[in-house]
């Protein structure tokens, strides 16, 4: 990468040269990177693939050095595991090779020792006496494409229920992906959708939600060792509580279900205590005071007719303005829905709309989802709702499959448009542990997509209503 890595926003990213990037990486490793520069680096990595690739290569090298020193310091057989212990084979293999007493080996150990002097390692502090294979958590359940890797991208492996995990990074691909992990003390984190979560536990849990969403059910933590959760824009201290968290390059949204969470905005250090059923949002903006909000009321109905472009970058679809007798609409685009067991990408074509805060509308047992759509050829269509609880906590994904051939075309249009009504009773749960609609459920996201192939789906209306 010889050119600058990208344009900035709000003076946080700017154009950054290779030398400046390497300086930021070095200061991050050494624990000398200021909070404002950390925020700036997170924005760069979230928005620029070339910079992210460079970061991964850099951290890969330092991670290799990081593990080299503990290995050199251990007397006797060394664990051959990468730290991800598959359910099918949890026995720790031993390295039968003798220890390397050469000068090169001593040099590597010395370099490794220098690396260990740094503070948080990619925002996480790995204890020097923590073995790379030390088990700190187990995988409870997985749905969709989910992988674990050591820090810096080392030893990537597909997640399977029952796996034992060392400190590392969980990466989910696809809007419907889920991974539920339980730490040895019973604390549970559940990553949702396109998410990246770093985690470690050396007696104090440190978690970085780099992007996406997660649920946390934290057991009481050791005195003086609260669980610390960080995002690009916020830091949380948790003693024992239940909450949900979602983040992107610009903001972090917290919803507390039980207990209390100390919530700090990174850009200026302001803090609030968020109680049960409370919400708070932290961004790079300091014009608005950081404050706690109560449960937001949502309407009983909602209707989207696409008279405007997408709300944000996370929504899917190509917006088409009304004209030539056609309504405003969203045209389906391909997206990664997940991966097969062999790692083959599963591609769907569809559109999605995402609520910005409290949700589009309340969803009840008698609610109906109404879609106005057309396809170039008749085909089955999936409609999936992402549901939140009253505090903004994840409440499950619910899916219905319909076929435009089973519905009458609209009488006011002869261009193949059909209006399809889907009752709540037709929506089936897709997430383990989220089998019923939570009390006070609200619709946070709506996905409409073809299943097997691109059928040139266009959607002119998405509505949620009650009879």
What mean pLDDT comes out for the span 271-278?
91
Higher-scoring residue by pLDDT: 130, 284? 284
User: What per-residue confidence (pLDDT) applies to 407?
Assistant: 53
pLDDT at res. 24: 82
Q: Which residue has the higher pLDDT, 313 or 144?
A: 144
Q: Is the pLDDT of residue 121 over 60?
A: no
Each residue's pLDDT tens digit, 172-200: 988 778 899 999 999 999 998 889 999 99
Residue 83 maps to a domain: no
Q: Within this chain, do residues 382 and 418 fall inside the same structural domain, yes or no?
A: yes
Shared domain check, 322 and 440: yes
| Domain limits for position 336 | 302-465
Q: Collect all residues with Cβ–Cβ distance below 8 Å to 249 and sequence separation of at least 6.
A: 42, 43, 46, 47, 211, 232
268 and 388 fall within a common domain: no
Do 198 and 306 fall within a single domain?
Answer: no
Q: How far apart are CA 166 and CA 150, in angstroms?
A: 8
Residue 448 lies in a domain: yes
For the question of whether the overall pTM of this predicted structure is more than 0.75, the answer is no
- Which has the minimum average pLDDT: 53-67, 129-143, 261-275, 319-333? 53-67
Residue 227 and residue 210 in contact, taking contact as beta carbons nearer than 8 Å:
no
Q: Residue 88 pLDDT > 70, yes or no?
A: no
Question: In 10 A of CB 106, how many CB atoms?
Answer: 12
What confidence tens digit (pLDDT) does each residue in 210-228 have? 998 898 999 999 999 999 9
Residues 27 and 153 in one domain: no
Position 317 in a domain? yes
Above 60 in pLDDT, residue 461? yes
The enclosing domain of 402 has a CATH number of 2.60.120
Q: Which of 114-118, 166-170, 424-428 has the lowest mean pLDDT?
A: 114-118
Residue-level pLDDT at 11: 39
Q: How would DSSP label each residue in 115-162?
A: HHTSSSBTTB---TT--TT---EEEEEEEEEEEEEETTTEEEEE--TT
Written as six digits, the tokens of 153 are 């991208």
Q: What is the pLDDT of residue 92?
A: 32
Do 264 and 366 lie in one domain? The reply is: no
Lowest model confidence (mean pLDDT) among 23-27, 382-386, 451-455: 23-27
Residues 245, 322, single domain; the answer is: no
| Paired tokens of 359 | 């949700």
pLDDT tens-place string over residues 339-391: 776 777 888 899 999 886 668 899 999 999 999 999 998 889 999 999 887 76
């Amino acid at each position: 990468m010889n050119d600058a890595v990208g344009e900035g926003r709000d003076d946080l990213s700017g154009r950054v040269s290779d030398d400046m990037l390497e300086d930021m990486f070095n200061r991050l490793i050494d624990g000398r990177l200021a909070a404002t520069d950390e925020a700036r680096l997170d924005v760069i990595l979230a928005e620029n693939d070339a910079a992210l690739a460079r970061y991964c290569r850099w951290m890969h090298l330092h991670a290799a050095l990081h593990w080299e020193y503990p290995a050199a310091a251990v007397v006797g057989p060394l664990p051959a595991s990468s730290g991800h212990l598959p359910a099918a084979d949890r026995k720790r293999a031993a390295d039968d090779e003798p220890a390397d007493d050469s000068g090169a080996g001593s040099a590597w150990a010395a370099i490794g020792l220098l690396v260990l002097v740094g503070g948080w390692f990619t925002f996480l502090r790995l204890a020097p006496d923590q073995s790379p294979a030390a088990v700190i958590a187990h995988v409870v359940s997985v749905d969709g494409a989910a992988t674990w890797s050591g820090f810096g991208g080392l030893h990537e492996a597909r997640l399977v229920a029952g796996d034992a995990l060392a400190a590392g990074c969980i990466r989910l691909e696809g809007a419907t992906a889920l991974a539920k992990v339980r730490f040895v003390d019973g604390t549970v984190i559940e990553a949702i959708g396109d998410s990246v979560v770093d985690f470690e536990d050396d007696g104090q849990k440190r978690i970085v939600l780099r992007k996406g969403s997660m649920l946390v059910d934290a057991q009481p933590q050791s005195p003086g060792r609260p669980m610390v959760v960080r995002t690009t824009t916020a830091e949380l201290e948790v003693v024992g509580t239940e909450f949900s968290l979602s983040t992107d390059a610009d903001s972090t949204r917290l919803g507390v279900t039980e207990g209390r969470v100390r919530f700090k905005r990174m850009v200026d250090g302001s803090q609030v205590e968020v109680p049960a059923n409370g919400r708070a949002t932290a961004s790079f903006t300091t014009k608005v005071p950081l404050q706690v909000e109560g449960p937001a009321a949502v309407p009983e109905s909602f209707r989207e007719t696409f008279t405007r472009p997408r709300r944000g970058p996370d929504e899917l679809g190509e917006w088409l303005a009304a004209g030539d007798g056609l309504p405003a609409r969203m045209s389906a685009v391909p997206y990664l829905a997940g991966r097969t067991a062999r790692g083959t990408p599963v591609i769907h074509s569809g559109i999605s709309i995402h609520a910005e805060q409290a949700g589009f509308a309340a969803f009840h047992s008698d609610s109906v989802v109404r879609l106005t759509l057309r396809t170039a050829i008749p085909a089955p269509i999936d409609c999936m709702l992402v549901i939140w609880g009253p505090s903004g906590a994840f409440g499950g994904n619910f899916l219905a499959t319909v076929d435009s051939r089973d519905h009458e075309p609209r009488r006011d249009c002869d261009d193949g448009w059909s209006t399809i009504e889907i009752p709540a009773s037709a929506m089936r749960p897709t997430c383990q542990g989220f089998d019923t609609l939570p009390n006070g459920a609200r619709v946070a996201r709506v996905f409409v997509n073809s299943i097997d192939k691109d059928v040139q789906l266009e959607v002119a209306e998405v509505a949620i209503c009650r009879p």
